Chains A and B, each alone.
Chain A
C-alpha cells in the first residue's frame, strides 16, 4: 500500500534521512521506532510531502507521490497526525472537523457525529476552542481530524507523547479498534511497550537510517537491537 523507496530528506542544508525504505501493507499496523531525534517525524513529513524527498520516492497504492503537494497527498488517502498535534487552536472542536469535511471524494466512512461516538470525550466539548483542550483531548481531536479525510492509511506520529498513563491506555484502545475496523497505520513511537502491543511489524530508525526491520516477535527476541537503538 505504502512503499518508501530510499528517500533522502533535508531541512534546508542539513541532511536528515539517508536512504530510508519501508513498506506498509493493507490492514497492517507498522511501527517506526527510534530515539528522540532519530528521524521518525522527518520520515512522516517526507511521506506527506511536507519536506519532499530530494532523492528516492514514495509510492502510495502504486502512485508516485513525487511532486505532489501535501493537500493532494492527503486527498489520495493519507491521514496525517503530527507529533505536536497542531489542532487549529482558534477554532472550536466541531469547526476543526467541519473544515476538513468533503476534502476527499471517496464515500465518507467518517462523519462528525460518528467521530463523536468513537471519541466520546469530544462530544460534550464540541463548541470549546481547541486551544483550550487538554493534551489527551487535543490528541483525540487530531486523530479525529485526520479520520475526517477518510484516509486509507493513517500516519500517527507519537500519539502518546506527554500524556498521562490513563489517557495513553484509552488512546491505545482507540487505535486498536481503528485497526480492527481495517485501517492501515504507520505508527512512530518511542513508547515501545504500546507500539509493540499494537503493531504487526516494526522498523527501527537511528540517525536517519533504518537499522532493523522484522516482525514484532523477532524484535522482542532481539535484545541487541533494542539495547543499541531503543530505550529499554
Chain B
C-alpha cells in the first residue's frame, strides 16, 4: 500500500472517531429532548438554552475552583444538576399548570423560556465567548491509526455507551421508566390506575433537562462557549430525533450517529461544503422513511 492511500484510510478512521465523539454529545442532548417530547408530548424549545447554560456553568464552576482538574470534574456534576434544579422550579412553578391547555400554549411557553434563558445568560456572562481547557489527564493526543487523536474526544467516545446503557436501564429497569413508557402512549389510563401522572411528568422533564445540561457541560472544553450555541444544538437535535423517530431514545442514538458521522466524514471529503452532508443525510432518510427510522411514540 502506498503512503497516500494509507494516510487517507487512517484519516478516514480518525474522522470517524471524531464523528463518534461528537455523536456522544448529540445523543445525550437529543435523548433528553426526545424523552420529554415522547412522554410529555411537548417539543421543549428551551432544551438548547439549557445546554448553553450547562456549558457556561461548567466554565464558571471550573474557573471558580482554580481551573484545575478538580474544578472541571466537579463542574461536570454541578452544571447538569443546576440545570435540572432550574427546570424543576420552572416545571413545578409554571409548566405543570399548563398541561391541560392546548398544545400551542405549551409550545409558546417553551419558546418564551428560550428568550428568558438567553437574557439570563447575557446578564450573567455577558456577550463574550469563553473557552475552557480539559483537565490535564485529558489534554493532548493519543496516536490512533497512526494519527494524533485528542484524548478528550476519546473520553467522550467512551462515555457514549455508558450514557446509552444508563438510559436503557432507566427506561426499562426502573419503575419511573416503565411508568414513563406507559404514559407516553396512554397518560389517561396511567392516571386511572392511581398513578400521579403529573409527578411522573415532572421527573421526566427534569431528567430530560439534566441531559441537556450534561451535554453542555461535556461540550464545554471542545468549543467556544458562546451565545448562540443554543440555536445550533436545538436545530441539530430536533433533526436527529425526527430522523430517529420521535420519542424513541434508540432513535435519538441512531440519528445522532448519522448526524455525527456524516458531519465528520463530510469534512474529510469536501471541507467547504461539510455542513451540507448531515442535512443531506437527514433529507434522504426522511424521503425513504418520513416517520423516522425507529418506531415513534407519536
**C-beta contact mask, B155-181 vs A, less than 8 Å → 1, else 0?**
000000000000000000001001101
Which residue of B has the minimal Cβ distance to A85? B189
A86 neighbours in B (Cβ, 8 Å)? 186, 189
B188 neighbours in A (Cβ, 8 Å)? 50, 70
Once the chains are docked, how many angstroms separate the CA of A91 from the CA of B195?
16
A100 and B195: CB pair below 8 A? yes
Once the chains are docked, how many angstroms separate the CA of A48 from the CA of B194?
11
B195 and A103: CB pair below 8 A? yes
A95 neighbours in B (Cβ, 8 Å)? 178
B191 and A99: CB pair below 8 A? no
A103 and B178: CB pair below 8 A? no
Which residue of A has the minimal Cβ distance to B184? A90
B182 at the interface (CB under 8 A from A): yes
State the main secondary structure of chain B at its contact with A: helix
**CB of B198, distance to nearest CB on chain A (Å):** 8
Contact partner of B189 (CB less than 8 A), chosen from A75, A82, A103, A149, is A82
Once the chains are docked, how many angstroms separate the CA of A96 from the CA of B190?
10
B178 and A149: CB pair below 8 A? no
**CB of A99, distance to nearest CB on chain B (Å):** 5
B192 neighbours in A (Cβ, 8 Å)? 48, 50, 70-71, 74, 80, 82
Instruction: Tell me whether A74 and B193 are in contact in the complex, defined as CB-CB below 8 angstroms, given that A98-B178, A99-B179 are known contacts.
Output: yes
Max count, chain A CB within 10 A of own CB: residue among B184, B186, B189, B195: B189
A75 neighbours in B (Cβ, 8 Å)? 194
**C-beta contact mask, A28-53 vs B, less than 8 Å → 1, else 0?**
00000000000000000000101000
Contact partner of A90 (CB less than 8 A), chosen from B185, B194, B195, B197, is B185
A71 and B178: CB pair below 8 A? no
**CB of B187, distance to nearest CB on chain A (Å):** 10
State the main secondary structure of chain A at its contact with B: loop
Once the chains are docked, how many angstroms separate the CA of A100 from the CA of B182?
11
**CB of A150, distance to nearest CB on chain B (Å):** 9
**CB of B102, distance to nearest CB on chain A (Å):** 13
Once the chains are docked, how many angstroms separate the CA of A88 from the CA of B175?
14
Interface residues on chain B, size class:
10 to 19
B6 at the interface (CB under 8 A from A): no
**CB of B294, distance to nearest CB on chain A (Å):** 13
B185 and A103: CB pair below 8 A? no
B194 and A104: CB pair below 8 A? yes
Which residue of A has the minimal Cβ distance to B182? A88
**Which of A59-101 touch B at CB < 8 Å?**
69-71, 74-75, 80, 82, 86, 88-91, 95-96, 98-100
B181 and A74: CB pair below 8 A? no
**Which of B220-240 touch A at CB < 8 Å?**
none
Max count, chain A CB within 10 A of own CB: residue among B182, B188, B192: B192
Contact partner of A69 (CB less than 8 A), chosen from B184, B186, B191, B193, is B191
A216 at the interface (CB under 8 A from B): no
B185 neighbours in A (Cβ, 8 Å)? 88-90
Instruction: Tell me whether A70 and B178 are in contact in the complex, defined as CB-CB below 8 angstroms, given that A86-B186, A88-B186, A90-B185 are known contacts.
Output: no
B284 at the interface (CB under 8 A from A): no
A90 and B182: CB pair below 8 A? yes
Which residue of B has the minimal Cβ distance to A69? B191
Instruction: Tell me whether A90 and B181 are in contact in the complex, defined as CB-CB below 8 angstroms, given that A70-B188, A99-B175 are known contacts.
Output: yes
Once the chains are docked, how many angstroms separate the CA of A149 from the CA of B194?
7
**CB of A227, distance to nearest CB on chain B (Å):** 35
**CB of B142, distance to nearest CB on chain A (Å):** 42
A50 neighbours in B (Cβ, 8 Å)? 188, 192
Q: Which 9 A-B pairs have the closest CB atoms?
A: A103-B194, A74-B194, A88-B182, A70-B191, A71-B191, A86-B189, A75-B194, A80-B192, A149-B194
> Could you list 18 further interchain pairs (A-B, Cβ under 8 angstroms) beyond the known A50-B192, A95-B178?
A70-B188, A71-B191, A71-B196, A74-B191, A74-B193, A74-B194, A75-B194, A88-B185, A88-B189, A88-B190, A90-B184, A91-B181, A99-B178, A99-B182, A100-B194, A103-B195, A104-B194, A149-B193
Residues of chain B whose beta carbon lies under 8 Å from any beta carbon of chain A: 175, 178-179, 181-182, 184-186, 188-197
